[in-house]
């Protein structure tokens, strides 16, 4: 995780120094967990998510991106359509902090210096480092274990962005994160004294999703998109 942070800061510093066309702004939306607690709908935001992001538009078709997003995670078995979960009636209330580095690829040219109002769908992927709270369930109750843990993940998102606000870029994005842990929801505690409280499908890792809007401000000198 430390190396991911160093990579992100180095990339940010390098691109700001080159100052071609940069974007900096905010992410506001909702989050939901896809795990062994709560409903199983893929996109069902039920808790707030907020963050910061920076983009460097390397060309009219792709951008490098760094983001930091904090989110609450809530999951209620009572919201599930699975009768076994409804009967179990677990309730999770946790949080996570995500650091992500990746690339956006647009479907059409997104030239911010064309003088026109433009918009394009885009795809985004990269790598994430996610910090989450350690919990387990005991006698139907969520028990905080204290401390935090980290996991690596793969973000996959699709969105649409437009410069309809002049120097401000407005976007809408839906994205899922596949993680390399099965304990964000507390069903697979790793400490030996709590392994007796494992439940659910311990062979599937957890996912979480973000659904929201981005608003970024563009700055930097007009670039020359040259191709050798």
Torsion sign across C-alpha atoms 2, 159, 55, 223: positive
Cα 28 to chain centroid, rounded: 11
* pTM for the model: 0.85
Please give, one letter per residue, the 3-state secondary structure of 62-118: EEEEEEEEEEEEEEEHHHCCCHHHHHHCCEEEEEEEEEEEEEEEECCCCCCCCCCCC
Provide the residue ranges of all domains of the chain, joining segments of one domain with +.
2-219
- pLDDT tens-digit map of 39-81: 988 899 999 999 999 999 989 899 999 999 999 999 999 999 9
- May I ask the CATH architecture of the domain 2-219? Beta Barrel (2.40)
Beta strands in 19-61 (DSSP E): 22-34, 47-57
- pLDDT tens-digit map of 81-125: 999 999 999 999 999 999 999 999 999 999 887 778 899 999 999
């Amino acid at each position: 995780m430390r190396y991911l942070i160093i990579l992100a800061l180095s990339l940010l510093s390098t691109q700001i120094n080159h100052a071609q066309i940069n974007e900096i702004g905010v992410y506001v939306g909702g989050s939901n967990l896809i795990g062994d607690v709560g409903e199983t709908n893929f996109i069902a935001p039920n808790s707030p998510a907020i963050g910061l992001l920076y983009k460097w538009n390397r060309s009219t078709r792709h951008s490098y991106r760094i983001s930091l997003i904090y989110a609450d995670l809530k999951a209620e078995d009572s919201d599930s359509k699975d009768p076994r979960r409804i009967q179990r009636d677990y309730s999770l209330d946790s949080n996570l902090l995500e650091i992500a580095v990746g690339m956006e690829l647009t479907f059409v040219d997104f030239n911010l210096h064309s003088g026109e109002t433009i918009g394009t769908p885009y795809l985004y992927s990269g790598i994430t480092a996610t910090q989450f709270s350690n919990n387990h369930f005991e006698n139907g109750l969520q028990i905080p274990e204290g401390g935090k843990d980290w996991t690596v993940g793969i973000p996959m998102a699709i969105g649409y962005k437009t410069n309809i606000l002049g120097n401000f870029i407005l976007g809408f994005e839906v994205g899922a994160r596949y993680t390399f842990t099965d304990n964000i929801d507390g069903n697979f505690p790793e400490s030996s004294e709590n392994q007796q409280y494992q439940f659910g499908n311990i062979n599937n890792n957890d996912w979480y999703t973000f659904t929201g809007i981005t608003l970024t401000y563009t700055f930097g000198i007009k670039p020359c998109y040259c191709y050798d």
